[in-house]
Amino acid sequence: MAEQVFALQTYTPNSDVAAAFNLGQIQIIYGRTGNDALLGYQPVSKPGQTQIEIFLGDVAVEDPALRQWSDTFILGDSNQSYYGNGDANILGLNDFGLVTDFNPALDTIQLYGNASNYQLVDVGLGSAILQQNQDGADVVGFLLGNTNLSLDSNYFNYRGTTPPPGPTVPKAQQLGTPRFDLTPATTTDTSGNVYIAGATNGSLGGANNGDSRDAVVAKYDNQGNLLFTKQFGTDEFDQIFAIDTDAQGNFYVAGNTEGDLGGAEQGAIGDAFVAKFDSNGNQQWIETLSNGLSDSAYSIDVDGSGTVYLSGATVRPVEGEPVVPVGFQTNFWTSKFDTNGNQQWFTEIGTPASFDESYGVTVGNDGSIYATGWTLGGDVAAENKGLYDGLVAKFESSTGQVEFVRQFGTPDYEWSWSVDTDSQGNVYATGWTLGQLGDENPGSYDAFLTKFDALGNQLWIQQFGSDGDDEAFDLVIDSQDNLFITGYTNGSFGGPNLGSFDPWVARYDVNGNQVWLQQFGTPDYDQAYSITSDNVGNLYVTGITQGSLGGLNAGSFDSWVAKLDVSSGNLLNFGGTAQTADRSASVPISKSATQQLNAQQKGLLENFFEQFVTGTLGLSGGSGGPNGTGLEKLVTDPYAPPPTSVPEPSAGLGLLALAAFSCVSRKLRARSKASGKARLPVQ
């Protein structure tokens, strides 16, 4: 096997869509705490190319409660199998997903087609899932520590071969490709046009550069007619997390690139970037920021003069004894650029050997800058209450000097996503908690909304939720000082749950009273990440769906945008011109009965996975499975894993060879947080 890259992609401790983004690598996709959906880079478009994903759902090295979560491991969708492109001579062992901690009592494996297309083979350390292709049996998955499973059990979710029925919200718009599409950011301009921004693994606005993830922006008029889609990027990972506009109709985007999007790459892993475009989508300038191993810009706000404010996080080598056993730390930062792309200042906040990150920034009417985020184990402004604490910071506009930092939390998890100000200079932040931050927690994750005055005095905090998983992602305040929050829930939050996660939108007044709450969605997985107002009585919300929300699903996750009435929360017509979904399938599945493996083939599988698990991954023979035993070593140091080797099955099916590969580690910042002032993260 050729030299490979071993990549660790770490996501947030909320309920993520943990989507890998590197092609041709062996990568660990680590969902952490939460009810996550984990999927690899799909599809592999080049037969025979190595693509191995290691899925790690719930191992939480920092969670004192040791909660149990329900994860979905996605190995295919209704359009294609993600690992059906392997080398038929070696049963597809160059192309598969390995699930390390599958719990049949809680988790789900999602597959293309139906049960008759697959067979399960118990091989020593676990069960292999084989798909019957036209060229023969192909390993698409391996469930470590699990045997005696049944393909007819409800822990297998077969998506069939046609898109989910819909649209369930015909007033909304849906935009997607057969690959992964994400829009964590939205904003409006002075003419009432609506922008959504994010990334795609496919081709939404042009050919994909290098078969990786490209940045994408789509512009609609206020009726939902698509005006243009702009896609740009390098042959590496490029994603927009935030978008905003100025008074002249220009739009600005911010995010992360691992290529040379704004010139030569500066960071060892990736750079933050900010770019300006005119109203027709023509780029005016682009700048990158690099202050450590990796930098990402997660939020942007543009004031009336076109001055740009960013916030994000930078990854640095650890200083001192780390709060968790890894060799790096992250710092919270904000930065200011003039309208021509010249950086005015950069201010970094952090505590040694801890994690401090910002996901929201806003500028008040008086020019003061506020940012929000969190700290893990750090005493930034007060003694840490437990693990993740929320942060709200104020900066002086002309110099970037820190005026105050406020830290708040419980002994459990708090995560602050978004911040905005009202006309009186008060500051509001929203996010989620697993503790009792305000009222009693009725279940799992709860949303919170808190208010500070301009001096940093906390005036009130509201906690709200169902007995399920309720998370707030974004906040926007309109010109009438109405507060609007969006997020997602797998409970009955503003009405009956339609299945899996549903988006929700809520309106609050400045005293923390809820005015209305709207919940909508499909029977499939839907999440809302960003909200904006056009200040003439309309709200716009964007997110992702695995269903057919505003149109037929194109495969995998699609983007969507919906329009709501400010006064009532009712959905308004944003149907515009319907977008046609491109559903070009990848590898056809044979409709014939699956061929059972012979003894030699079973021996190959058993030997390969024995070598891969104990040799390549360095795990003991009893690791993994429902209890996740011994998996902590896979995540202890994502920047400096030890050298290892990977087994290579020969074309003759009988021999195993060891081919050395280098281990390089990286960290993904993907579950975005974008907003009406555009904020979103994916970590």
Tell me the per-residue pLDDT of 136-147, one tens digit each, with 9 for 90 and over.
899 999 999 999
For 372, other C-beta atoms within 10 Å of its C-beta total 31
Residues facing 242 on adjacent strands: 254
CA–CA gap between residue 171 and residue 224 (Å, rounded): 9
Q: Is the pLDDT of residue 2 over 60?
A: no
For 259, other C-beta atoms within 10 Å of its C-beta total 18
Hey, what amino acid is at 52? I
- DSSP-assigned states of every residue in 166-219: --SSTTSEEE--SS-EEEEEEEE-TTS-EEEEEEESS-SSS--STTS-EEEEEE
What is the pTM (predicted TM-score) of this model? Answer: 0.90
Residue with tokens 């945008």, as numbered in its chain: 561
Q: Which residues have CB under 8 Å from 86's CB, separation 6+?
A: 47, 48, 92, 93, 94, 95, 96, 138, 139
Is the domain defined by 173-584 classed in CATH 1.10.10.10? no
Reported as a single tens digit per residue, the pLDDT across 354-407 is 788 999 999 999 999 999 999 886 677 777 777 889 999 999 999 999 999 999
- Residue 518, pLDDT score: 97
CB 549 within 8 A of CB 174: yes
Q: What are the domain boundaries of the chain? A: 6-161+587-661, 173-584
**H/E run at residue 360:** strand 355-363
For 405, other C-beta atoms within 10 Å of its C-beta total 19
CA–CA gap between residue 157 and residue 257 (Å, rounded): 34
- Residue 210, pLDDT score: 59
Percentage above 90 pLDDT, the chain = 61
Q: Is the pLDDT of residue 643 over 90?
A: no
Q: Is the pLDDT of residue 338 over 70?
A: yes
- Residue 224, pLDDT score: 97
Q: How confident is the model at residue 580 (pLDDT cuts 50, 70, 90)?
A: low
Single out the residue of 496, 480, 350, 360 nearest to residue 423, CA to CA. Answer: 480
Q: Is the pLDDT of residue 223 over 80?
A: yes
- DSSP-assigned states of every residue in 528-559: EEEEEE-SSSEEEEEEEESS-SSS---SS-EE
For 561, other C-beta atoms within 10 Å of its C-beta total 25
pLDDT top residue among 468 and 394: 394
pLDDT top residue among 671 and 525: 525
Q: Is 28 helix (H, G, I), strand (E, B) or coil?
A: strand
CA–CA gap between residue 311 and residue 346 (Å, rounded): 10
Mean pLDDT of 272-280: 97
Hey, what amino acid is at 582? D
CB 433 within 8 A of CB 445: yes
Q: Is 569 helix (H, G, I), strand (E, B) or coil?
A: coil
CB 680 within 8 A of CB 185: yes
Which CA distances in Å does 314 have to 52, 345, 512, 636? 28, 15, 33, 19
CA–CA gap between residue 456 and residue 403 (Å, rounded): 9
Phi, psi of 61 (to 5 degrees): -70, -10
Q: Is the pLDDT of residue 496 over 50?
A: yes
Tell me the CB-side half-sphere exposure of residue 410, using CA atoms within 13 A.
20
Q: Is the pLDDT of residue 588 over 60?
A: no
- Residue 316, pLDDT score: 76
Q: Is the pLDDT of residue 646 over 90?
A: no
What are the tokens at 667?
A: 């960290």
Rounded to 5 degrees, what angle do the CA atoms 319, 321, 322 make? 85
Q: Is the pLDDT of residue 3 over 50?
A: no
Q: Which residues have CB under 8 Å from 573's CB, separation 6+?
A: 171, 223, 224, 563
CB 259 within 8 A of CB 265: yes
Percentage above 70 pLDDT, the chain = 83
Q: Is the pLDDT of residue 208 over 80?
A: no
Residue with tokens 């040791």, as numbered in its chain: 66
Q: Is the pLDDT of residue 593 over 60?
A: no
- Residue 668, pLDDT score: 26
Hey, what amino acid is at 454? A
- Rounded to the nearest integer, the mean pLDDT of the chain is 85
Mean pLDDT of 443-463: 95
CB 358 within 8 A of CB 673: no
Single out the residue of 297, 405, 182, 413 nearest to residue 669, CA to CA. Answer: 297
Q: Is the pLDDT of residue 325 over 70?
A: no
Mean pLDDT of 437-446: 82
